[in-house]
Chain A
């Protein structure tokens, strides 16, 4: 496999995971950007453990995930009941705090970061294994009683609480879960790029992930799967003089989509229509086969 294709596949999977991360908490109407900060924690701690303490990759992986998920509990407990905007801004603030902390702590390499991270064999398999695992997890969640409860919370928090949904507990659990996924993504990202610098985990990165979700559609998990490879891939195949306008293209797409199609391209109505079309085609084929 060529190096370009490897990076494309690897980063696409990681961006899908991050997209799901944001999607999952958004199911209850909260836009939680903390996974980007937790991703930085996962990336830095695992790299540090391998480079400075000489730990093997699996141990560093588990260590970083435990630290990331534990750290996710702090904003989760504090912001569980916060209004939607408070959460958006507080978690963006968290991204900047983490960036500043990693930039200013000398043992994490300051602005230069950590480099020389060793190459891990079969990282692509590990990444896609986690992608499938998280995909199944979120799919099961969406199609369970919890998913239906999330739908009610999204529509009206008060109604949900009247129906017996403990919003605070729900929010905290989802945030910790996404913290766990964020940390996994961070470790895999660090060992893919093999360099960790604070700039990676900043605001432009968050904007790119937000674009993937909101253009793809934030009411289902499928929008991220379909649109992340496309939106992330387009700038890679564009001529160099156009590829520099990647953020411009993302911005225009995001703006146009939200104004014209407020729930993104792949929303629930789209999925319903697609489902009906598939059933219609299957029916037609089976009728044809019976006649034959």
Chain B
């Protein structure tokens, strides 16, 4: 029972990070008008920047966190002009292929140039491995609690922006119909740029939480994360912001439980098997595609 509870907390923490990632991804799908496969690679690059800043500043936590978040925003913002012509043409499948190419380039940069391709390991003070709550053999660490609380705070902030501000209304209008949004006087390009910035912010925050949860990062992490994020998005229904949250938690829980109770590395097969079944039964996802 103790192990189950420890795994459950771990799974919720992991699911919260997936949920953050999927929310940023879905924002780019809905508002950016693209299929951002490389979003997770940008997050991993932000993790590298966080690690680099901490290395340079002698494991300064604030420097690491700021560096991760700012680089997440900056990298996401830089990619906007690449996708702009494709978004204008509404070439979603084309944008997916371009994003795959961008992902390939980012992975190659990380594999060849950053830390000579060796796996990076985050300092202990970022990982927060010290036990805050103990029950028997199981413990809940500071990192896990920070991840769960930080994710909840990020979601609250994001949904406040989306449903309580003028910018949020512009985002939703763009999601419904970019053509109608233009007729209503919403600046399309500027709103798209804001969506990249907000997605970058969510990505930067996810990078920090991922660094806490995983403790390490490598160039191949981007591909793995990208597939999981897409899988969750597909599971919920591409572009469904609320559904993405629920689906991410389901994926985190199933992955955590599979890792705890099944031999071998079956977690990926289980996760992707779930996606296959959902796509077969409900091609538009469990909750359908909506803003």
Chain A: residues with CB nearer than 8 A to chain B?
31, 75, 78-79, 81-86, 88-90, 92-94, 96-97, 100-101, 103-104, 203-204, 207, 210-211, 214, 244-245, 247-248, 250-255, 258-259, 262
A75 to chain B, nearest CB (A): 8
A93-B85 in contact given A84-B93, A262-B94 (Cβ < 8 Å): no
Chain A residues, CB < 8 A from B234: 85-86, 89-90
Of the listed stretches B60-68, B120-128, B269-277, chain A binds: B269-277
| Inter-subunit contact A97/B283 (CB<8 Å) | no
- The answer for the CA separation of A83 and B96 in the assembled complex, in Å, is 14
Of the listed stretches B6-14, B19-27, B44-52, B260-268, chain A binds: B260-268
Of the candidates A93, A258, A262, the one having the most CB atoms from chain B within 10 angstroms of its own CB is A93
- The answer for the CA separation of A81 and B275 in the assembled complex, in Å, is 16
Chain B residues, CB < 8 A from A103: 264-265
Near A by CB (< 8 A), chain B positions 88-135 give 89, 91-94, 96-98, 100-105, 107-109, 112
Taking CB as reference atom, which chain A residue is nearest B289? A83
| Inter-subunit contact B231/A93 (CB<8 Å) | yes
- Per a CB cutoff under 8 Å, which of A31, A89, A96, A253 touches B269? A96
A214-B105 in contact given A90-B234, A90-B275 (Cβ < 8 Å): no
Can you list 13 A-B pairs with a CB-CB distance of less than 8 A?
A84-B93, A85-B35, A86-B234, A93-B276, A94-B272, A94-B276, A245-B108, A247-B104, A248-B104, A250-B101, A254-B104, A258-B97, A259-B82
| Inter-subunit contact A83/B227 (CB<8 Å) | no
Tell me if B's interface is mostly helix, strand, loop or mixed.
Answer: helix
| Inter-subunit contact B283/A86 (CB<8 Å) | yes
Tell me if A's interface is mostly helix, strand, loop or mixed.
Answer: helix
Chain A residues, CB < 8 A from B275: 89-90, 93
Chain B residues, CB < 8 A from A31: 93
Chain B residues, CB < 8 A from A94: 272, 276
Chain A residues, CB < 8 A from B85: 259
| Inter-subunit contact A254/B98 (CB<8 Å) | yes
- The answer for the CA separation of A269 and B257 in the assembled complex, in Å, is 54
B236 to chain A, nearest CB (A): 12
- The answer for the CA separation of A276 and B265 in the assembled complex, in Å, is 56
A227 to chain B, nearest CB (A): 15
- The answer for the CA separation of A262 and B89 in the assembled complex, in Å, is 10
A262-B91 in contact given A79-B279, A93-B231, A96-B227 (Cβ < 8 Å): yes
B residues contacting the other copy or chain, number (CB 8 A): 41
Taking CB as reference atom, which chain B residue is nearest A30? B93
Chain A residues, CB < 8 A from B35: 85
Closest 8 CB pairs of A and B: A251-B104, A93-B272, A254-B101, A100-B269, A251-B105, A78-B280, A255-B101, A248-B108
A142 to chain B, nearest CB (A): 20
| Inter-subunit contact A258/B108 (CB<8 Å) | no
- The answer for the CA separation of A97 and B265 in the assembled complex, in Å, is 11
- The answer for the CA separation of A204 and B227 in the assembled complex, in Å, is 13
Taking CB as reference atom, which chain A residue is nearest B264? A104
Chain A residues, CB < 8 A from B80: none
B208 interface contact, C-beta 8 A: no
Q: With contacts A88-B93, A93-B276 known, what are 9 further pairs, Cβ within 8 A?
A: A85-B96, A96-B269, A97-B268, A210-B100, A244-B112, A247-B105, A251-B103, A254-B98, A259-B98
A36 to chain B, nearest CB (A): 14
B172 interface contact, C-beta 8 A: no
